[in-house]
Amino acid sequence: MTDFNSLIVSATMAAAAGLVGCFAVMRKMTLAADAFSHVALPGIGLAVILKLNPLVGALMALLAGSVLIWTVERKTKLSAEAITGVVFSVALAVGALTATGEELIDALFGMPSRMTITEMTFGLAAACAVIVFILRMRDRLLISLVSGEVAIASGIAVSKLELSFLVAFALTIALGMRYLGVLLMGSLIIIPATVAKRFARSIGEMFAISVGAALFSTMSGTELALWAHRPSGPVIVAIAGSLFFLSLLKSRRTGARLDG
C-alpha cells in the first residue's frame, strides 16, 4: 500500500489534472494534450545524461515548449494544435536520440513508489498552484473561450492568459510524470474531463465530475498497480478509459452548453 504522503500528492495531482482537463476539452485540445506531453522527452534525456532528476529536465522542456508554442502561435496565427504537432515531432526525435536507461522507463510510465521527499514537496506545491490558478481564472478563461473580442473589451489580457494556461497545462503534465509517466499523463487530463462533459450542466458540475473521475482512477489505479507489481501509469489510464466507456451506456443529460 502507498504511504499517506504519496496518496496526498497523487490526489492533489489528480485534482489538478481534472480541472485543467475541463478547459483543455472545451478548447478542443484533446489530441494536442497527448502530443504536448511528449515535449518532455528531450528534457528527460538531457537530465539522464547530466545525471539530474528526470523531473527537472521534463519540467524545463515542457515550460520551454509552452513558451515556444505560445510565441509561434502569436506570430504566425497558426492553430495551437498544428504548432504542437510540429513541436511534438521534433521533440520525439530528439528525445529518442538522447533518452535511455531505467530513469527513462520510470519517466515514461510512472513509478510512484520511488518518489523522493523533494518530488513530493514540489508535486504538492505545484498541484495546489495549478488548482488555485484554474479556480481563480475560470471566469476569464470561459470568457476568452467564448469570444476573444469580448474578453479584450472586458479588460482581460488574453495573450497572457493563454500563456498562463499553457504553463499550467505543462506543469500538470510534469506533475504526473511519477504516477503516469509523460506518455500517459495527457490521458488523465483528457479522459475524466470528457466523461464530465457528457453529463455536466454547468462548469461547476464539470469540475466536480472531472475531478472525481480523475481521483477515482488515480487512487484505485495506484493501489491496483502496486498489488499487481505493474507500472502505475497504464493501470490508471485503463481505469479512466473504463469510466469513459461505461459513461457511454448512460444517456447524455446535456453538456451542449459547455461546447467550445
Query: What pLDDT, in 10s, does the model give residues 144-194?
Result: 888 878 888 888 888 888 889 989 988 888 887 766 676 677 888 999 999
SS3 labels along the chain: CCCHHHHHHHHHHHHHHHHHHHHHHHCCCHHHHHHHHCCHHHHHHHHHHCCCCHHHHHHHHHHHHHHHHHHHHHHHCCCHHHHHHHHHHHHHHHHHHHCCCHHHHHHHHCCHHHCCHHHHHHHHHHHHHHHHHHHHHHHHHHHHHHCHHHHHHCCCCHHHHHHHHHHHHHHHHHHHHHCCCHHHHHHHHHHHHHHHHHHCCCHHHHHHHHHHHHHHHHHHHHHHHHHHCCCHHHHHHHHHHHHHHHHCCCCCCCCHHHCC
Q: Model confidence at 252, in pLDDT bands (50, 70, 90)? A: low
CATH of 4-258 given 3.40.50.720, 1.10.3470.10, 3.40.50.2300, 1.10.1040.10: 1.10.3470.10
Predicted model pTM:
0.84
The residues spanned by each domain of the chain are 4-258
pLDDT in tens, 202-238: 899 999 999 999 999 988 988 888 888 877 778 888 9
Q: Model confidence at 1, in pLDDT bands (50, 70, 90)? A: very low
